[in-house]
Structure 1
Amino acid sequence: MIERQLFPAIGTALSDYPAVALLGARQVGKTTLARQIGDVRSAVYLDIERPSDRQKLTDPEAYLSLHSQRLVILDEVQHMPELFPVLRSLIDEGRRAGQTTGRFLLLGSATGELLRQSGESLAGRVAYLELPSLQLPEVAEDQQNRLWVRGGFPNSLLASNDSKSLDWRQNLISTYLERELPSYGSRLPAQTLRRLWTMLAHLQGGLLDVSQLAKGLMIDAKTVHRYLDMLGDLMLLRKLPPWHSNLGKRLVKSPKVYVRDSGLLHALLGLATQDALLAHPVVGNSWEGFAIETLLNAAPRDAQSGFYRSSNGAEIDLLMDVPGLGLMAIEVKKSSTAKPRRGFYSACEDLQPVQKFLVHGGVDGVPYPVGDGVMAVGLRHLALWLAQIQPGVPLETF
């Protein structure tokens, strides 16, 4: 059993709120983690997609009232939106009786839909936590390249060989295309959706150009926007926004797009092994996306992030404004011997970040200076520091 970093945060949230919503893509490990929480708290577990469990909720108020003294876990709760007003009523009733926390753990794989449904009924009563795929700090140090190639879905990462891992990811993609996306209102044929997703894989780390995607798919731009939002809601796609500043410079205004899980990215491109990946043109952008996803998931939830690119070639792969630490500029390179680009230094002159990092994929992640105030550091080391960040504690002493 892989220990997830989010486990203690869920326990803390359940001690502070009557309801906690755990968001994450399908097969990312939400149910396994929730059952671990449930074992500790003797919880009742219901899977809304299972007919027998759904039948128990024919009269949800009566059933849930029977278990008012126990934590109730509701899996894929977004498929039963009529539950949310009932949950609100039971939470408010429990508050009057002194039951103020730890009533419901809600699991969902459609972030936008669940946020909308719960926000309308449970405002002020629910805490939201996101469970990403397995992250670098959660696996052994020697598993970094395997995690990069196979991605963080547990069944993919732990498969007995690369071929079986790729088969599992391709089956997951088919499930999304043929069942999951249509259940959320998709009207495009599965083949068209696959082409869109594959085009996004080839665009990994590039600027989003909706008109070009629409032209390639022979559909209108509005439809492309809708499906990009859908992939984002399902936590499969990330749009990294451009960093806005008042420097009077001409800046790129389009977001950069990334398939969030590197394993799904490689499956869409048919890349089963590390050798195949290293020989493919996407390798640099794949590592960049893997590193950025790792760092964003490790950073404090209230950190602001984006990228910077100006018309004169100044560029920073990732900017993070972390409360208590200030602005951090991060250049991403796979090689541990790489140096920052000239455009990185130019961008740092524009923005004056408090800390500057060159993040690499080397095994020895101990930080060392590379000049002009830039610290080179391994990806795993920086992610661990971000996850346990304390104002005033420099990276070099971590």
Structure 2
Amino acid sequence: MTSVTAATSAPAIARYVQGKIAIALQDTRVVLLAGPRQAGKTTLARLYASPDRPYLTLDDPATLAAARSDPTGFVRGLKQAVIDEVQRAPDLLLAIKESVDNDQAPGRFLLTGSTNLMAMPRVADSLAGRLEVITLLPFAQAELAGTPGNLLDRLFDGAGLPGVVNPMVGDDLMACVLQGGYPEALRRTSASRRQAWLQDYVALILDRDVRDIANIDQLDRMPRLLDVLAAHAGQLVNHSSYGAALGLTTPTAQKYVGILERLFLLRQVPPWSSNAVSRLTKTPKLHFLDTGLLAALRDTTASQLQKDRTGYGPLLENFVVSEVLKLITWSDKRVRISHFRTKEQDEVDLVLEDRRGRVIGIEVKASATVRPQDLRGLRQLQAAVGNKFVHGLVLHDHDRITPFDEKLHAAPVSMLWQG
């Protein structure tokens, strides 16, 4: 796999959100680079450190103790700084707010965080108007391949689909899905070594980072909960079912899932709604943000899937969702994601809507063949949206584009990073 080879020289791989960071530091007082641990935030943030902008990490015990014991004193005297893993001392953000209110120069603080700090109302309110959040997820396939990764921009701008170049299909696509995008995992050339690293990674997150952001009475349930969620990836969220499997109440299960989402391990994709379509499902869908991690939790290997592909569909759908979320992180367009599902179970896995209300629909199929009935959900979405419908895609394990009408096509999954 070329992506594994490329990842062994990770520092040379361009991160496509880097341009956004540079621009934000020119006009915004505080910039937060948020994403899961080991996604590459520290490597990227260090590029902006200098004698005038010192690098401080709260993973260092002495630095963390100083930040927690006297947040105001910690920030006092810092004209500029890069502060890594800021979620470990939340009170530091209030001290930063006071500092940047007194000195409103842009680019004062570049922060990194391994949790979604904006889910904390106190933080969101205090830094409103002073902070720009930029998300960094594990490597996207476009970054690994060095391709533009601008398919969504092309479609919203009316440029249409690019031509197919070196499509990734079959076993190569499956291997790509199973390895995921964590830089450290990609440095390991065997699947068993990658899975071992990912399992250790999860254990570290659940043991340390959960404690940093929440008081959990039943922390021992979190690994089991994550296993239950992995088994339900790609399905509608059902907190009562998750809770019942672990002896947790529904509100507790919902709270714990929310914590895992804040740690960028998974994402609940909300349902799309419209008055034009009645009988729509109003339940979110559950997805993991890295399919290597999902495969490790499910203990899924390529040899197993080659013998029995029934488990491949959810993995491929999660893979497409995660790749689309990565495309959005560096796009200039503000894109809202949701899913479309009727009570009759006609569905579209991803609905992408820009601020003008224009819509792209993406359905994922693990098979090489797309049948007309596979487009039923996309056609219903197209009818509901009308002239705001930009394009509908069925992404599947194939090497060619198949037109169904002017705005509906089946295309290779690898189109996501070739565009």
TM class by smaller structure: 0.7 to 0.9
| Equivalent of residue 41 in structure 2, options 23, 27, 30 | 30
Deviations 1:268-289 (A, max 9, x none): 1112x32224435321011011
| Equivalent of residue 262 in structure 2, options 204, 216, 233 | 233
Are the equivalent residues in 2 in contact too, given 1:81–1:117 (CA < 8 A)?
no
| Equivalent of residue 347 in structure 2, options 315, 324, 333 | 315
Are the equivalent residues in 2 in contact too, given 1:113–1:233 (CA < 8 A)?
no
Are the equivalent residues in 2 in contact too, given 1:306–1:318 (CA < 8 A)?
yes
| Count of residues paired in the alignment | 374
Q: Choose between structure 1 and 2 for higher RCO, CA contacts under 8 A separated by at least 6 residues.
A: 2
Say whether residues 1:129 and 2:129 are aligned partners.
no
Gaps of 5+ in 1: 386-398
SS at match of 2:103: helix
Gaps of 5+ in 2: 1-10, 146-165
Say whether residues 1:186 and 2:216 are aligned partners.
yes
Report the equivalent of 1:214: 243
SS at match of 1:110: coil
> What is the distance in 2 between the residues matched to 1:145 and 1:18?
43
Report the equivalent of 2:253: 224
Letter in 1 for 2:216: S
Letter in 1 for 2:396: H
Are the equivalent residues in 2 in contact too, given 1:314–1:347 (CA < 8 A)?
no
Cα RMSD of the aligned pairs, angstroms, is 2.6
Are the equivalent residues in 2 in contact too, given 1:84–1:117 (CA < 8 A)?
no
> What is the distance in 1 between the residues matched to 2:366 and 2:277?
33
Letter in 2 for 1:18: R
1:107-146 equivalences in 2 (<5 Å): 107-112=112-117, 115-140=120-145, 145-146=174-175
Say whether residues 1:171 and 2:200 are aligned partners.
yes
Are the equivalent residues in 1 in contact too, given 2:118–2:124 (CA < 8 A)?
no
* CA drift at 1:225: 0.6
* CA drift at 1:182: 3.3
SS at match of 2:338: strand
> What is the distance in 2 between the residues matched to 1:110 and 1:169?
18
Are the equivalent residues in 1 in contact too, given 2:348–2:362 (CA < 8 A)?
yes
SS at match of 2:343: coil
Identity %: 29
Report the equivalent of 2:393: 357
Say whether residues 1:47 and 2:77 are aligned partners.
no
> What is the distance in 2 between the residues matched to 1:75 and 1:320?
32
> What is the distance in 1 between the residues matched to 2:136 and 2:121?
18
Distance 1:14 1:380, change over 3 A: farther
Say whether residues 1:104 and 2:141 are aligned partners.
no
Letter in 1 for 2:81: V
* CA drift at 1:80: 1.6
| Equivalent of residue 158 in structure 1, options 187, 191, 200 | 187
* CA drift at 1:381: 2.9
* CA drift at 1:108: 0.8
> What is the distance in 1 between the residues matched to 2:106 and 2:27?
6
